[in-house]
Amino acid sequence: SRPTVSPRAIAPAKALAIVELRRKRLTQARIAQALGVSASTVSRVLARAGLSHLADLEPAEPVVRYEPQAPGDLLHIDIKKLGRIQRPGHRVTGNRRDTVEGAGWDFVFVAIDDHARVAFTDIHPDERFPSAVQFLKDAVAY
């Protein structure tokens, strides 16, 4: 059962002072030092008030959203590196003399129109400048 009297409880005025100092963006250690109470007491009072973190003092910022007005206004472009596997290599077959010709990488270029959500993809052997320019020309023409 709960005791009727808590002689060691923090005074309501001191708890209010802790909350007021927190609203002025002071840290828990600074509040404890300024009021002469322990850091754990300050932490407990702030937890009860829902102000444990400084981020609790400010409302969440609204998410900034952009909305392209027409198709083609905004393209998201990405490149994904994919392994080119012709057949199993020496790790699978156990024969180290077994070389796989043509193994390497292919690069998938992806462009997504943010307004229409239409995707365009193309596979290139490398991710160098000429391949990127060719992909961009093909994506715009699409």
Segment 7-22 shows an average pLDDT of 93
Select the more confidently predicted residue: 69 or 50. 50
User: To the nearest whole number, what is the mean pLDDT of the chain?
Assistant: 89
Q: Model confidence over 102-129: pLDDT tens digits?
A: 778 999 999 999 888 899 999 999 999 9
Q: Model confidence over 34-61: pLDDT tens digits?
A: 999 999 999 999 999 999 988 888 877 7
Is the full-model pTM beyond 0.85? Answer: no
pLDDT tier, 94 (very low <50, low <70, confident <90, very high otherwise): confident
Question: Burial letters for 38-67: b for 16+ Cβ neighbours within 10 Å, e otherwise?
Answer: eeebbbebbeeeebeeeeeeeeeeeeeeee
pLDDT of residue 112: 94
Select the more confidently predicted residue: 98 or 26. 26
Which residue type is seen at 95? Answer: N
- The separation between the first and the last C-alpha atoms of the chain, rounded to the nearest angstrom, is 75
Q: What is the DSSP letter of 55?
A: G
